[in-house]
Amino acid sequence: MVVTWGSEVPERGLFVGRFQPPHKGHMEAIKWIFKNGGVDELIVAIGSAQESHTLRNPFTAGERMEMLRMALAEYNVSLSSVLIVPVPDIAMNFVWVRYLEMLLPRFYVVFSRNPLVVRLFREYGYKVVSPPSFERERYSATVIRKLMLDGNEAWRELVPYSVAKYIDDIGGLDRIRSIAGRD
Amino acid sequence: MVVTWGSEVPERGLFVGRFQPPHKGHMEAIKWIFKNGGVDELIVAIGSAQESHTLRNPFTAGERMEMLRMALAEYNVSLSSVLIVPVPDIAMNFVWVRYLEMLLPRFYVVFSRNPLVVRLFREYGYKVVSPPSFERERYSATVIRKLMLDGNEAWRELVPYSVAKYIDDIGGLDRIRSIAGRD
Amino acid sequence: MVVTWGSEVPERGLFVGRFQPPHKGHMEAIKWIFKNGGVDELIVAIGSAQESHTLRNPFTAGERMEMLRMALAEYNVSLSSVLIVPVPDIAMNFVWVRYLEMLLPRFYVVFSRNPLVVRLFREYGYKVVSPPSFERERYSATVIRKLMLDGNEAWRELVPYSVAKYIDDIGGLDRIRSIAGRD
Amino acid sequence: MVVTWGSEVPERGLFVGRFQPPHKGHMEAIKWIFKNGGVDELIVAIGSAQESHTLRNPFTAGERMEMLRMALAEYNVSLSSVLIVPVPDIAMNFVWVRYLEMLLPRFYVVFSRNPLVVRLFREYGYKVVSPPSFERERYSATVIRKLMLDGNEAWRELVPYSVAKYIDDIGGLDRIRSIAGRD
Amino acid sequence: MVVTWGSEVPERGLFVGRFQPPHKGHMEAIKWIFKNGGVDELIVAIGSAQESHTLRNPFTAGERMEMLRMALAEYNVSLSSVLIVPVPDIAMNFVWVRYLEMLLPRFYVVFSRNPLVVRLFREYGYKVVSPPSFERERYSATVIRKLMLDGNEAWRELVPYSVAKYIDDIGGLDRIRSIAGRD
Amino acid sequence: MVVTWGSEVPERGLFVGRFQPPHKGHMEAIKWIFKNGGVDELIVAIGSAQESHTLRNPFTAGERMEMLRMALAEYNVSLSSVLIVPVPDIAMNFVWVRYLEMLLPRFYVVFSRNPLVVRLFREYGYKVVSPPSFERERYSATVIRKLMLDGNEAWRELVPYSVAKYIDDIGGLDRIRSIAGRD
């Protein structure tokens, strides 16, 4: 743990996800964090940043970053208080928290509901807070990708309007179906 | 080159550097870009993001990101218009531009004075603009690190005030001299 | 995309596969490409070149290269018009086409029936042609490896004679069964 | 060492280099090998295949492969007897020979004058033959790249005609000078 | 294969495993090897050393090394005759044996019951001996991890006493259940 | 920092080096550590474990491990109290200490005179002790390798007898001169 902190540091938190794609559950969590999490700034780390064009990770880190910025604007979250950072995977769970400390500005609290993320940060010594879930059965990226693949338009209601529009504009549905070998 | 662009895209540029540390030359370039570069948003990519604790790369990507945000605030550049992104090295020059396209939101123009960066983006097909140099002999990170190592206080005038303060607070001079085996 | 082409370039195509092992479907596709694909030269890229000794990838890249050369000779395809190149995996789909451009001579058309390969090259801007399938249910490397594992001699009719002989000579069946833990 | 060889194997040799760029010394060596080396086929492995756009490694593996094929044709070496294979670096010298055995068809003799290459293959147990040098002071890729950088046209006489033409066509001199920051 | 052996070498064997966690079957195998394997020293290589905090690989290499040393002491195996070495994975099966030769002291015989390990060492030319299995249905790390996850205390009888105590002390059960998302 | 320690832990220290080759200065340091360092066990981590066959790193990790064991025996250090562990490099200084914590049993104090090693462990929060230097001008691996390369027999007196014998037996001098291109 770095022993030499410096300057006056803003109350900064960390929120980790893959955002494939960003959905309303993510946005509600971010709003909850700014309201209840005691932070002025939030780092949003985009995990598995090297992945794209698979059924589990259809979008590039850059695309996910664009979608997140649009969605934040749509939800009236100030872009100057959110730092979106793509983070490529590292193949060593034990080292992963330290690797994040290398890539990211300092943060004092971690927000996550992912069991592995929670465990890794707690073993390292961080305070971890789990935001309440927002209809987790519906607002799930896995569910959304399944709907997209099946040609079920219901996915549109599960993501911010700007995200749905973006996915249309870049031909995202086409991509997912091409990769799956369906047409 | 991705053929499927989407949505209304802001006029976005890319500025690449290692920022070891960020100095007044960098800040002048960023101000110049917003004034003359025809962009609304600027991605600032922090190269060699995996490096730190060497004489050539003393600071972590996270520290450089913090310094850049403080310096931007000091120079009255809107944080919501700048996207600071750490980018680990990839060992293949030919592939590097494409790798940046994967990690970053779309951009339409690249700002750089680094000969290799300019060449790689031009061969790939990007428009590249070289901002004017700002007393390059003085405002050089290499010069600054040399002064720091030599215990010459002149480095302080070459970086924004907030950067100098930050380096003091995290014990940056100590780190550089420790690594060099001097005391 | 490289903007500086040079010299008079032969009409060159690219055919990508893993060739675990090369079978008659591959050979028919190659013959079809030379007849109908409008190319004088064909790069045959051997994907997942770092893999071997697994049920999905039993043979090394070198072994696959040897088998391909023998099979091409058996099928009277001129070895001087075919460039066989092993290509280790890269963990970034978005970057993969560019990575191939780095490792391979220039090519102007891609031949593939693999949905992901087709998608990646099309998004990048390449012309992609899907050769007709040749009894895909039979001429499938997955089917062939299953037959080998089960001790069913029917695999022999699905590969060129020289490939079957090569696999016998290097003890390929033994390897597959050893790995599977059967005997 | 693989204990299970198979089939009738051609007398195949291996010649390793970086070919930045291919020059007349390389071509003389290849002619010497086919005349005196006792081989029917020759693998030409292009080392450091992941490198390009540096002063030491200006050309991509694909470009080097194209130049080698043109030069071989110019020197009347049969393209069907030569297997040109790009080989990315692996950061472990001790393992490197085995890594080549994985990527390449079997070979029984290695041709090289590079001290490290000679040592690594001999420690592993291979027969290594050093072809005579061909005016090594002149026919050296290091010398050639230096001449190119200096704008000295003498480099043209040190490479095959087709290689010089290719480098002109792709703007190779420009690339080298751009990278060096000269104009 | 290194041709230059040196010094008087002890009769040294190699035993490879992942040891997630070390169990009584491992200890019985080690005792059997020292009694019947004709070796004075044994290298115990801990595979997948980079993995931890997954259901398949819950413990770090360092933790596995500690558990092995305690268990060896409990079983009265001399610590000075056993060399425990963590070995990170390498993504190339064909190269793996050579990679082990790089990282490990010389050894002359390999002990393993794993089909892939046996095959890779045999193809390379090593003598491989399979120790008898010790109630393999029970003494299996897969079974043990399943019991731990299910909260079934029966796992305790399948590992040495010191291993069970160690896992309790570091909160190992908690870790496994956290990762699985159970509580 | 792992918050869940367990079991009764021996007083364990860490000593890091590259040991190219192990010399009398290393052995004196190890003796000093056991006498004055307050530890019962010592981990000797062999850095740059993936390197060999270069002038700076001539010996493999396995060879260095063998030499260390012989030298420890020669110096009457109990092999059961020393854990020799090869550690491949990781390209991220900031993460390196955590990476060592993953690969190694727990340790509570670090012994080193290397400025970077000292700095990295201190920033992370470890106690670091610098053993006194033992005629550092002479007992230096850099000096020893230089003498070997120059054919100066004086290197023999700077390493333990068993190390000199080992290097003779494996043809170490030959290797160093071959690599350097001298004979």
Report how far residue B103's alpha carbon sits from residue A46's, in angstroms, rounded to the nearest whole number.
Answer: 10
pLDDT at residue A26 in the model: 97
* A3, A99, A101 member nearest F125 (Cβ): A3
Report the chain D residue with the minimal C-alpha distance to residue F171.
D123
Q: Which residues of chain F make contact with A91, given a CB cutoff of 8 A? A: none
- The DSSP symbol for B37 reads S
What are the structure tokens assigned to A6, written together?
């410096």
SS3 A44: strand
pLDDT at residue D3 in the model: 36
> Testing the interface with A: which of F95, F99, F101 to mutate, by most A Cβ within 10 A?
F95
pLDDT digits (tens, 9 = 90+) for F28-57: 999 999 999 999 999 999 999 999 999 999
pLDDT digits (tens, 9 = 90+) for C157-178: 999 999 999 999 999 999 999 9
pLDDT at residue C4 in the model: 41
F vs C contact (3+ beta-carbon pairs below 8 A): no
Report how far residue F19's alpha carbon sits from residue F163's, in angstroms, rounded to the nearest whole number.
Answer: 11
pLDDT > 60? residue A1: no
Question: Are the beta carbons of E58 and E20 closer than 8 angstroms?
Answer: yes
Percentage of residues in chain E with pLDDT exceeding 90? 90
- A65-104 burial code (b ≥16 CB/10 A, e <16): bbbbbbbbeeeebebebbbbbbbbebebbbbbbbbbbbbb
pLDDT > 70? residue B175: yes
> Testing the interface with B: which of F96, F119, F140 to mutate, by most B Cβ within 10 A?
F119
**CA gyration radius, chain C:** 17
Q: Which residues of chain E make contact with D125, given a CB cutoff of 8 A? A: 1, 3
A83 phi, psi to nearest 5 deg: -110, 110
Fill in the amino acid letter for C95: V
What are the structure tokens assigned to A165, written together?
């529009």
Q: Which residue has the higher pLDDT, E127 or B3?
A: E127
Question: Are the beta carbons of A172 and A148 closer than 8 angstroms?
Answer: yes
Q: Which CATH class is domain A12-180?
A: alpha beta
In this structure, chain D runs to a length of 183
Q: What is the sign, positive or negative, of the torsion defined by CA atoms of D112, D117, D119, D122?
A: negative
pLDDT digits (tens, 9 = 90+) for B110-156: 999 999 999 999 999 999 999 998 888 889 999 999 999 999 999 99
Per-residue pLDDT band for C10 (boundaries 50, 70, 90) equals: confident
pLDDT digits (tens, 9 = 90+) for F137-150: 889 999 999 999 99
Percentage of residues in chain A with pLDDT exceeding 90? 90
pLDDT at residue F97 in the model: 98
Question: Are the beta carbons of B88 and A140 closer than 8 angstroms?
Answer: no
- The DSSP symbol for A171 reads T
For every residue of F23-36, DSSP letters joined together read -HHHHHHHHHHHHH
Q: Do C50 and D102 touch (CB under 8 A)?
A: yes
pLDDT at residue F182 in the model: 61
Annotation: CATH topology of F12-176? Rossmann fold (3.40.50)
Question: Are the beta carbons of A67 and A22 closer than 8 angstroms?
Answer: yes
**Domain boundary assignment for chain E:** 12-180
pLDDT at residue D25 in the model: 96
Question: What pTM did the predictor assign?
Answer: 0.95
Beta pairing class for B12-17 and A82-86: unpaired
Q: Do E102 and D123 touch (CB under 8 A)?
A: no
- The DSSP symbol for C54 reads S
Report how far residue D118's alpha carbon sits from residue D93's, in angstroms, rounded to the nearest whole number.
Answer: 12
pLDDT > 90? residue B10: no
CATH superfamily of D12-174: HUPs (3.40.50.620)
Per-residue pLDDT band for B8 (boundaries 50, 70, 90) equals: low
- The DSSP symbol for D82 reads E
SS3 content of chain D, % helix, strand, coil (to 5): 45, 15, 40
- The DSSP symbol for E105 reads -
Mean pLDDT by runs of 10 across the 183 residues of chain D is 51 97 97 96 98 98 98 97 98 97 98 95 97 88 97 97 97 96 66
pLDDT at residue D181 in the model: 86
Q: What is the rounded average pLDDT for all residues in chain C?
A: 93
pLDDT at residue D2 in the model: 36
Query: Which residues of A fall below an 8 Å CB-CB distance to B?
Result: 2, 4-7, 49-50, 52, 60-62, 65-66, 69-70, 78-80, 83-86, 88, 101-106, 162, 165-171
pLDDT at residue D8 in the model: 62
* E92, E94, E119 member nearest C179 (Cβ): E119
* F1, F3, F102 member nearest A95 (Cβ): F102
Per-residue pLDDT band for F1 (boundaries 50, 70, 90) equals: very low
Mean pLDDT of B172-183: 88
pLDDT at residue B181 in the model: 86
Mean pLDDT of C128-151: 93
Q: What is the rounded average pLDDT for all residues in chain F?
A: 93
What are the structure tokens assigned to F98, written together?
């955590």
End-to-end CA distance of chain D: 51
Report how far residue B136's alpha carbon sits from residue B27's, in angstroms, rounded to the nearest whole number.
Answer: 13
pLDDT at residue E8 in the model: 62
pLDDT digits (tens, 9 = 90+) for E82-100: 999 999 999 999 999 999 9
Report the chain F residue with the minimal C-alpha distance to residue E165.
F7
Could you tell me which of C98, A121, D153 has the C-alpha nearest to residue B93? Answer: C98
Q: What is the rounded average pLDDT for all residues in chain E?
A: 93
pLDDT digits (tens, 9 = 90+) for C70-120: 999 999 999 999 999 999 999 999 999 999 999 999 999 999 999 999 999
| Segment among A7-16, F101-110, F158-167 with least mean pLDDT | A7-16
Mean pLDDT of C8-27: 93
pLDDT digits (tens, 9 = 90+) for D118-138: 999 999 999 999 999 888 888
In this structure, chain B runs to a length of 183
pLDDT > 50? residue B5: no
Per-residue pLDDT band for B7 (boundaries 50, 70, 90) equals: low
Mean pLDDT of E105-109: 97
pLDDT at residue C7 in the model: 54
pLDDT at residue F123 in the model: 96
Q: What is the rounded average pLDDT for all residues in chain B?
A: 93
Report how far residue A49's alpha carbon sits from residue A39's, in angstroms, rounded to the nearest whole number.
Answer: 25
- The ipTM estimated for the assembled molecules is 0.94
Most confident residue range from A33-42, D173-182, E174-183 = A33-42
pLDDT > 70? residue C1: no
